[in-house]
Amino acid sequence: TPILLWLRRDLRLVDHPALVAACEAGAPVIPVFIHDQQVSQLGAAPKWRLGLSLAQLEQDLRAKGSQLILRRGTAQQVLEDLIAETGAGSVYWSRLYDPAAIERDTQVKSALKARGITARSFGGHVMFEPMSVETKTGGFYKVFTPMWKSVRTRDVPQPLAEPAKIPAPEAWPASDALDSWAMGAAMQRGADVVLPYTTVGQAKALERLHAFCDGPIGGYTANRDLPWKRHGTSRLSENLALGEISPTQCWHAGKGKLDQGVSDAEVFLKELVWREFAYHLAFHTPRIVSDNWKEDWDAFPWNTDETDARVIAWKQGRTGIQFVDAAMREMYVTGTMHNRGRMIVASYLTKHLMCHWKIGMNWFADCLIDWDPASNAMGWQWSSGSGPDATPYFRVFNPVTQLDKFDKHRSYVSTWLAEGRSNPAPEALAYFEAIPKKWSIAATDTYPQPIVNAADGRQIALDAYSNRGF
């Protein structure tokens, strides 16, 4: 009887334990992607980007004589329908670790079992599964460095090869047409603006990994902090988020370089483990995606009003703080933001502007093509102080001195800011082409004065912390 291979954030054929196991089982394999509530709820950019990934995966599967069956509905209903239609006796998938996915998958698993269907889940989305990493006293890690030290020397198995053949069923069940899902409907700027910044699918992701490991990885330690260096980092986050490449593939490529004496590769491995840490926290402390990770932060006097002028200025990249505005515009146009920028804009929103981290987290979830439920939540809570950071309250980034440090020659801000410049960069102008008309802002406007300047904002945040007894 056929096996249903339920694909979610594992949109690749290489290093795919569930796919390999299905192929080895000797039965026909029916790959399926379900447009369920979790897909419906995706923000505009990640949903559009997922559509690109599915289109590529359809092609990759076809090249193997297989197909991708697309269905819409609740996961359980769709799987049950497919089981009835195809006579499948089992469903395989790759495990996910964010709370919404766990809840769905647990329900699906028990419903399938109750009907006598085999449900098998596999690793692959992370290298160090959250339940397999524990502290010496048997707990989970709440701080990054000890987790890094504990996994650093572990043996990570080599990536699995792509199956030579994917056994096909005699007849394929019906599939929706991907176009009918209109994955880009909410993303007007997708095809015209963001598309050139994407790198879609497993083959291109692997090329990207190799290009990074053949050169830039050598200067990664210093360059990864410079937002104007577009090739200073791997830019693999959009691929990792959808599973177009596996963390194991990235780890071994980096490890290979380290073994050849490229010492900066160690820092790259460490960053990959930050992603693992994010899933570790999402698994062990699911509230990280929705509530203050540190519960005593519930008393913090954050603004939660999305219509507040501070929030609007921040989203529009019109705070008058160059580093913040450049980074917000970079995200709007490219669908990603440099990590330094993410830390600066998150710190400015939650500390200088005293706005709730959830407002920022949700805006990122709407704009990022590399949106990841665990890394985004961790990044926001780390930046706001409510999350897993040993020294949060005095870490108030100064967005002006940060610019002197990381964008000394102002290349980053001159790429992204147009106002008051005689010859704005194409990227800076692209931003104004991309934004909704109703924002009513133009490249010819005067650049705003800071809505909260660097020094005042720091004091506002520190006062709020000390008033609350942090």
- Footprint of ligand FAD (CB under 6 A): 224, 233-237, 240-241, 271-272, 274-275, 278, 339, 342-343, 346, 364, 368, 370-372, 375-376, 379-380, 383
- Minimum distance of ligand FAD from residue 425's CB (angstroms): 21
DSSP state, residue 109: H
Question: Is residue 157 classed exposed, middle or buried when 0-12, 13-18 and 19+ CB atoms within 10 A define those classes?
Answer: exposed
- 291, 405 in Cβ contact below 8 A? no
- Minimum distance of ligand FAD from residue 322's CB (angstroms): 19
- Minimum distance of ligand FAD from residue 136's CB (angstroms): 24
Q: Which is nearer to ligand FAD, 313 or 378 (CB)?
A: 378
- Minimum distance of ligand FAD from residue 393's CB (angstroms): 17
Cα 274 to Cα 3: distance, rounded to the nearest angstrom: 34
Q: Which is nearer to ligand FAD, 93 or 251 (CB)?
A: 251
DSSP string, 31-93: EEEEE-HHHHTS-HHHHHHHHHHHHHHHHHHHTTT---EEEES-HHHHHHHHHHHH---EEEE
Q: What's the token pair of residue 465? A: 């912390």
Q: Which is nearer to ligand FAD, 118 or 150 (CB)?
A: 150
The position carrying tokens 């359980």 is: 76
- Mention every residue, 6+ apart, whose C-beta is less than 8 A from residue 42: 50, 365, 371
Q: Which is nearer to ligand FAD, 66 or 381 (CB)?
A: 381
Q: Which is nearer to ligand FAD, 188 or 339 (CB)?
A: 339
- Minimum distance of ligand FAD from residue 169's CB (angstroms): 35
- Minimum distance of ligand FAD from residue 308's CB (angstroms): 19
Q: Which is nearer to ligand FAD, 90 or 415 (CB)?
A: 415
Q: Which is nearer to ligand FAD, 129 or 419 (CB)?
A: 129
- Mention every residue, 6+ apart, whose C-beta is less than 8 A from residue 237: 336, 370, 372, 375
Query: Would you put residue 332 in left (φ > 0), alpha (ψ -120 to 50) or beta?
Result: alpha
- Minimum distance of ligand FAD from residue 382's CB (angstroms): 6
Amino acid letter, residue 404: D
Q: Which is nearer to ligand FAD, 70 or 361 (CB)?
A: 361
The position carrying tokens 């791997």 is: 234
- Minimum distance of ligand FAD from residue 276's CB (angstroms): 8
Question: Is residue 277 classed exposed, middle or buried when 0-12, 13-18 and 19+ CB atoms within 10 A define those classes?
Answer: buried
Q: Residue with CB nearest ligand FAD?
A: 379
Cα 112 to Cα 89: distance, rounded to the nearest angstrom: 10
The position carrying tokens 């399938």 is: 112
